[in-house]
Amino acid sequence: MLLSLVVHTYSLRYWFPAAIMLGTAPVYLLSWGAWRLLSTILPAKMYHKLDDRLYNIYQSMVLFFFENYTGVEVVLYGDIPKKKENVVYLSNHQCTVDWIIADMLAIRQNALGHVRYVLKDGLKWLPLYGWYFSQHGGIYVKRSAKFNETVMKKKLLTQTQAGAPMYLVIFPEGTRYNPHLKKVITDSQAFAKKEELAVLKHTLTPRIKASHIAIETMRSHLDAVYDITVAYEGTLDASGQRTPAPSMPEFLCKECPRVHIHFSRVDIEEIPPEPVFFRRWMHERFEIKDRLLTHFYESEDPDKICRFPGEGKPSPLNLFKTLPSVMILGGLTLPFLLTENGRKFYIGTWLYGTLLGWLWYLIKRL
């Protein structure tokens, strides 16, 4: 009985925040939908402005759980600009928490509402979220030959011409790096050899198409590219081997004590426009990431293991930046709990959450 109680208590560490994030989503989307209808007669710039503010509220609530609730320590290497910029954010990709890392950096620049993602096409079928991410400016792309360059360019141009601030998150590897998926790593390294590129050990060979199109389509609108390298502490086993990065449930269960984020800003003028030179530039950036991660996981100095080179500074997130959003969304949601219709509404929300969980599981298996 005691063991079952411990297991139940442990599961609540995940289900409590998950239930709140899912439970507030329908109410949030109803509020956003009302604004979307009202804004149809208004200039696109005005729609984007309030849409970004609404998105900031929801994502701040999400960060309350991923940062303040978990108590994870964010360690930054490099200085984030204090002012907002229009940027493309390029990062290594290991797990679904990587999406949240982009939010963690954006909120420290007061640019959280401007975050938009380039996502794999299958995610557009997520109930509510898939459709909403697209409405907020997210772009769904298919791999390799099925990639639709025209659609991506059109969507980016529509937003930039409307003056929408841009914090576009792209994971150039195209899929997650998992040290247990040997075939994925081997295939990636074989491709690098074929293209006469340096073979990478701790990242996959980056794909350039989405990143190149994004940067060239928005070049006149962008200030910089943010080159981000992320490592999760606790992903080294007793034998010194790298293990998979934490999933969202594991992260919310407080299984990751620290996240190490190496930040590098590249001015947009420094990035070559020609595809052949851009490929070389992108691969060089990933060679740097690979060296950083090799130092993190394989340093022979015990004092430097699980650290990036250089000085890492803890960057705590002020509770004032996230708690008000929890209270706002909670206040909007509470009336539904106090009525019979509300109970029915939340049974539907629970069913929706269950469906979302199964879909998420299936997508992870793709």
User: DSSP for 55-107?
Assistant: HHHHHHHHHIIIIIITTPEEEEESPPPSS---EEEEE---STHHHHHHHHHHH
Q: Which has more confidence, 4 or 317?
A: 317
* Closest listed residue to residue 207, CA positions, set 244, 170, 182: 170
pLDDT at residue 4 tops 90: no
Q: Please report the pLDDT score of residue 115 as a whole number.
A: 96
Cβ(156)–Cβ(215) under 8 Å?
A: no
pLDDT interval class at 128 (50, 70, 90) = confident
* Closest listed residue to residue 120, CA positions, set 106, 134, 105: 134
- pLDDT tens for each residue of 6-54: 444 555 677 888 878 877 887 787 778 887 787 777 787 788 888 899 8
Q: Which has more confidence, 273 or 11?
A: 273
How far is the C-alpha of 185 from the C-alpha of 177, rounded, in Å?
8
What range does the domain containing 225 cover?
1-364
Q: Output b/e per residue, 15-44; b: 16+ Cβ within 10 A.
A: eebbebbbbbbbbbbebbeeebeebeeeee
- pLDDT tens for each residue of 346-361: 445 544 444 444 444 4
Q: Please report the pLDDT score of residue 352 as a whole number.
A: 46
Q: Please report the pLDDT score of residue 194 as a whole number.
A: 93
Whole-angstrom CA distances from 338 to 22, 234, 333, 342 are 18, 42, 10, 6
Q: Please report the pLDDT score of residue 3 as a whole number.
A: 41
| The total number of structural domains that make up the chain | 1
Q: Please report the pLDDT score of residue 10 as a whole number.
A: 54
Cβ(65)–Cβ(17) under 8 Å?
A: yes
pTM (predicted TM-score): 0.88
- pLDDT tens for each residue of 135-157: 888 999 887 667 778 889 999 99
Average pLDDT, the chain: 86
Q: Mean pLDDT throughout 168-193?
A: 94
How far is the C-alpha of 23 from the C-alpha of 28, rounded, in Å?
9
Q: Please report the pLDDT score of residue 2 as a whole number.
A: 44
Q: Please report the pLDDT score of residue 144 as a whole number.
A: 67
pLDDT at residue 93 tops 70: yes
Share of the chain above pLDDT 70, in %: 87
Q: Mark out the alpha helices in the chain (DSSP H runs).
A: 2-38, 44-63, 97-107, 129-135, 149-161, 182-194, 209-217, 248-252, 275-298, 323-337, 340-365
Q: Please report the pLDDT score of residue 26 as a whole number.
A: 78
